[in-house]
């Protein structure tokens, strides 16, 4: 299968097309940003070069199947099939801004017990062109389904979909290069947030080599023994090493880190859990993001079905964290009606066809 030009960063594309003049790569990149579907649409590119490109590259990755679902809260979810890889991406709308939530892997190898994506296993990494395609498709949704007429209607990108981004960092770096190119989508890296389950080595790599995106850590709990039961990755990425990596990230210029706490009813919402989170956050510039678990049937812990905490349980935990001096916010649930909320991706896409 031919590589897609849409996943090649501008500088690399310039080197490939250097014999044809550096301006050609800029022209082609502008067509990609516009959402061109074929080289034939590029009317300012010589026919001979278009023919050459068609022989060597695809313009965009081929989407075998696609299914779009809309939730009554304004959330959209798209299920794609790329070269036998089934993935989902989500368009979030808070009434003011649109956010593209993209995936970096088909499935996920981490296996967190509270996450649907983790329960379906791992297929493969996505390449940069497939990540860019997710964004282009979500942008088309804004233009086709809403009244937003801006040239670039999506305001931010969160790498929080299917998969663990730090296990596919080389391809993600290429995609972020394309997203942040000033002559293209022109996203500031600070408008892109990467969420990780906690790969200490990957956080250090991100700190050393960039890009300078915002970082969110799916902490869930700062109790090491409990975290290992909930998140197998915690066995090889213990809280001490993870804390050291976060400190290093901020010392290297990384901004405020979001600590994401998925609230699991009766499991990680005790007073001592709040105290341990406060201890973990000490010395870091953080905001605590509380996410009541989004129900997925069949997910269990120690022989019992997982439960969403009651409003009273969630509020009590929020208040406990606040009393410990932490900066805490509660995330508003979006996309539950289409299984597009946090931890639900992968539910209902097999098969894509109705």
Residue 76's DSSP bridge partners are 70, 91
Instruction: State the Cα–Cα distance between residues 192 and 266, nearest whole angstrom.
Output: 33
Contact (CB, 8 A) for 62 and 83 = yes
Mean pLDDT (whole number) for 96-125 = 94
Reduced to 3 states (helix: H, G, I; strand: E, B; else coil), residue 334 is coil
Of residues 71, 115, 197, 342, which has the active-site annotation? 342
Instruction: State the Cα–Cα distance between residues 172 and 125, nearest whole angstrom.
Output: 10
Hey, what are 95's tokens? 């009434």
Nearest Cα neighbor of 294 from 77, 27, 5 is 77
How confident is the model at residue 348, as a pLDDT?
59
- % of the chain beyond a pLDDT of 70: 95
Contact (CB, 8 A) for 174 and 181 = no
How confident is the model at residue 334, as a pLDDT?
62
Class at the top of the CATH hierarchy for domain 63-338: alpha beta
pLDDT digits (tens, 9 = 90+) for 13-54: 999 999 988 789 889 999 999 999 999 999 999 999 999 999
Catalytic site includes residue 342: yes
How confident is the model at residue 144, as a pLDDT?
83
How confident is the model at residue 340, as a pLDDT?
60
Provide the pLDDT confidence category of residue 183 given band limits of 50, 70 and 90. Answer: confident
Number of residues in the chain: 354
From the number of C-beta atoms within 10 Å of its C-beta (0-12, 13-18, 19+), residue 284 rates as middle
Provide the pLDDT confidence category of residue 82 given band limits of 50, 70 and 90. Answer: very high
With 60 as the cut, is the pLDDT of residue 121 above it?
yes
Query: Domain 5-56, what architecture?
Result: Orthogonal Bundle (1.10)
Catalytic site includes residue 88: yes
Parallel, antiparallel or unpaired: strands 304-305 and 300-301:
antiparallel
How confident is the model at residue 93, as a pLDDT?
87
Nearest Cα neighbor of 77 from 146, 118, 123, 138 is 138
DSSP 331: P
Residue 331: C-alpha distances to residues 88, 261, 316 (Å): 21, 10, 15
Greatest CA separation for the chain: 69
Provide the pLDDT confidence category of residue 336 given band limits of 50, 70 and 90. Answer: low
In what helix (H) or strand (E) does residue 91 lie, and over which residues does it extend?
strand 85-93
With 80 as the cut, is the pLDDT of residue 341 above it?
no
5-56 against 63-338: fold identical: no
Mean pLDDT (whole number) for 283-306 = 94
With 80 as the cut, is the pLDDT of residue 294 above it?
yes
pLDDT digits (tens, 9 = 90+) for 219-263: 999 999 999 999 999 999 999 999 999 999 999 999 999 999 999
Hey, what are 148's tokens? 């937003």
How confident is the model at residue 146, as a pLDDT?
73
How confident is the model at residue 316, as a pLDDT?
97
How confident is the model at residue 72, as a pLDDT?
80
How confident is the model at residue 158, as a pLDDT?
97
How confident is the model at residue 184, as a pLDDT?
77
Delimit the domains of the chain by residue range: 5-56, 63-338
Instruction: State the Cα–Cα distance between residues 140 and 43, nearest whole angstrom.
Output: 22
Contact (CB, 8 A) for 7 and 131 = yes
Residue 18: partners with Cβ closer than 8 Å, 6 or more residues away: none
DSSP string, 238-298: -HHHHHHHHHHHHHTT--PEEEEEEE-TTTS-SHHHHHHHHHHHTTS-EEEEEEEPPP-TT
Provide the pLDDT confidence category of residue 168 given band limits of 50, 70 and 90. Answer: very high
Instruction: State the Cα–Cα distance between residues 316 and 294, nearest whole angstrom.
Output: 19
Nearest Cα neighbor of 89 from 34, 37, 140 is 140
With 90 as the cut, is the pLDDT of residue 1 above it?
no
pLDDT digits (tens, 9 = 90+) for 143-155: 887 777 777 799 9
With 60 as the cut, is the pLDDT of residue 338 above it?
no
Instruction: State the Cα–Cα distance between residues 227 and 221, nearest whole angstrom.
Output: 6
Provide the pLDDT confidence category of residue 65 given band limits of 50, 70 and 90. Answer: confident
> What phi and psi values does residue 76 have, to the nearest 5 degrees?
-115, 145
Of residues 81, 88, 130, 134, which has the active-site annotation? 88
């Amino acid at each position: 299968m031919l590589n897609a030009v849409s996943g090649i960063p501008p500088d690399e594309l310039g080197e490939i097309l250097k014999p044809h003049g550096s301006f050609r790569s800029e022209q082609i990149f502008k067509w990609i940003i516009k959402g061109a579907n074929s080289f034939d649409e590029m009317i300012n590119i010589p026919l001979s070069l278009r023919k050459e490109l068609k022989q060597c590259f695809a313009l965009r990755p081929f989407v075998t199947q696609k299914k779009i679902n809309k939730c009554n809260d304004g959330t959209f979810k798209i299920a794609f099939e790329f070269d036998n890889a089934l993935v989902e991406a989500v368009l979030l709308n808070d009434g003011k801004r649109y956010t593209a939530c993209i995936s970096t892997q088909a499935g996920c190898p981490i296996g967190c017990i509270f996450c649907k994506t983790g329960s379906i296993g791992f297929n493969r990494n996505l390449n940069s062109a497939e990540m860019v395609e997710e964004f282009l498709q979500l942008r088309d949704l804004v233009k086709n389904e809403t009244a937003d007429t801006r040239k670039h209607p999506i305001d931010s990108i969160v790498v929080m979909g299917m998969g663990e981004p730090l296990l596919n960092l080389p391809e993600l770096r290429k995609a972020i290069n394309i997203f942040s190119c000033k002559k293209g989508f022109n996203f500031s890296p600070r408008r892109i947030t990467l969420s990780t389950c906690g790969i200490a080595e990957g956080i250090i790599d991100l700190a050393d080599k960039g890009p300078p995106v915002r970082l969110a850590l799916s902490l869930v709990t700062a109790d090491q023994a409990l975290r290992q039961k909930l998140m197998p990755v915690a066995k090889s990425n213990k809280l001490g090493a993870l804390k050291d990596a976060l400190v290093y990230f901020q010392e290297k210029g990384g901004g405020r880190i979001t600590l994401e706490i998925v609230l699991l009813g009766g499991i990680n919402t005790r007073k001592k859990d709040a105290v341990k989170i406060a201890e973990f956050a000490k010395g870091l510039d953080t905001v605590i993001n509380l996410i009541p678990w989004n129900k997925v049937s069949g997910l269990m812990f120690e022989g019992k079905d997982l439960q969403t905490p009651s409003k009273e349980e969630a509020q009590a935990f929020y208040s406990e964290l606040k009393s410990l001096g932490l900066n805490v916010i509660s995330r508003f649930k979006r996309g539950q009606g289409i299984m597009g909320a946090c931890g639900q991706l992968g539910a209902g896409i097999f098969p894509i066809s109705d």
